[in-house]
Amino acid sequence: MASSEVTQDLSQAKRVRPWLAYARRRNATLYGIIFAFVFLTFLVATIRGDSILPYVFEYAGRVVRAFLLLSSALVIWACSSALVQGRDASPVSAAVARLKSLATSSMLARYLYACAILVLFMAAFLYNKTMIPVVAPFQWDETFARWDANLLGGYQPWQIIQPVVGLPWITQLFDIAYSSWVPMVFLFWGGLFASPRVPEPIRIRYWRSTVISWLLIGLVMAAMFSSAGPCYFSEIVLGTPSPYADLMRYLDEVATAYPLSSSLTKDFLWQVYIGNVDLPGGISAMPSMHNAQAALFAAVAYSINRRLGHVMLVYAVLIFLGSIHLGWHYALDGIVGVVAALAIWLACGKLGQGQIAAIS
């Protein structure tokens, strides 16, 4: 490596460290909440004779997969830009230069730093999520199924949308969108922290909203309204005919011809729940964190760019319809999740405005 390149790398590292130190000071309360939550979870797990390391490894693997997805997108972007703009220089050289510039910039270090924090937080969250049925056994499924039907004149939500979306290729589309949600969580969390184009107040607001949503919606409210979801209705509500039997039959038929990630995940989570598999995994329906987080994606996207907001709004609609069509959630799960997440987003916006006013 040339001396100029070494000097450049060292200068990049020097710029990242003070920037991260500033970010930690600026968000000391948020960092304190995250690490207190992780520490308390570690303490509880130790007392119970458990280990949260498998949960850390699980989310570390998800970070790697999200990073591979991001890297692939960046390679495609660099090559496409080089082909369109590279009139004088070689397209290959231009693409390599763009990718090298990204790899050696502070953005990569910021992204990985943010993802490392999220790995610890989400590992602690997932461990606590597995405790929900232990602390509060599933007891709301029959009630939510009845409320869904009352909301729609006696019909279940899946029955209303099935004539339109009940086609294998549409089911696959929902399945892909639903599966992409996990890497999207890391891409938004890490990407907003890494990008110099995102104003700091927007990133802080998103981080705060996300952390509060996972804790309040994903744990506190999930424990209060402990439920498993339509796909597990027949196993949870014994002695009552499942209003989702025909939907499950349709999904099984589609899965035999076109493997669905959601069907495999449902089977895996059930095996974890009944104790046949000793791996990280948890079941919780109300409120829907898929819908809550998708709502935050759309909210922060509109704060950055209107077109990006439109795209993420479409994605949020796909997640809502997919959560019903794939049998993961009652319609009320998604409605409550979205309303709660947007309420938290608005509250964090007010908090941010108050802090800015206090500083000025």
CB 295 within 8 A of CB 315: no
Count H helices and E strands in the chain, helices first: 17, 0
Supply the pTM of this predicted model.
0.86
Percent of the chain residues topping a pLDDT of 90: 64
- On the question of a cis peptide bond just before residue 243, with omega within 30 degrees of 0, the verdict is no
For the stretch 224-281, pLDDT in tens is 999 999 999 999 999 899 999 999 999 999 999 988 999 999 999 999 999 898 888 8
pLDDT of residue 228: 96
The more confident residue out of 25 and 51 is 51
Interatomic CA distance for residues 206 and 285, integer angstroms: 23
pLDDT of residue 89: 61
The more confident residue out of 71 and 122 is 122
pLDDT of residue 359: 46
pLDDT of residue 101: 67
**Where residue 9 falls among pLDDT bands split at 50, 70, 90?**
very low
- On the question of a cis peptide bond just before residue 54, with omega within 30 degrees of 0, the verdict is no
pLDDT of residue 67: 78
Query: Which two structure tokens, joined as six digits, stand for 261?
Result: 């990630």
Query: Which two structure tokens, joined as six digits, stand for 344?
Result: 């938290």
Residue 329 has pLDDT above 50, yes or no: yes
Interatomic CA distance for residues 124 and 180, integer angstroms: 22
Q: Which residues contact 284 (CB under 8 A, 6 or more apart)?
A: 129, 132, 218, 222, 226, 227, 228
pLDDT of residue 68: 82
pLDDT of residue 354: 59
**Where residue 16 falls among pLDDT bands split at 50, 70, 90?**
low
Residue 8 has pLDDT above 50, yes or no: no
Span 286-314, mean pLDDT? Answer: 96
Helix axes 261-273, 245-257, angle to 10 degrees: 120
Q: What is the mean pLDDT of the chain?
A: 87
Residue 36 has pLDDT above 70, yes or no: yes
For the stretch 176-217, pLDDT in tens is 999 999 889 988 998 888 887 888 899 999 999 999 999 999
Rg (CA), the chain: 22
Span 161-171, mean pLDDT? Answer: 96
Residue 59 has pLDDT above 60, yes or no: yes
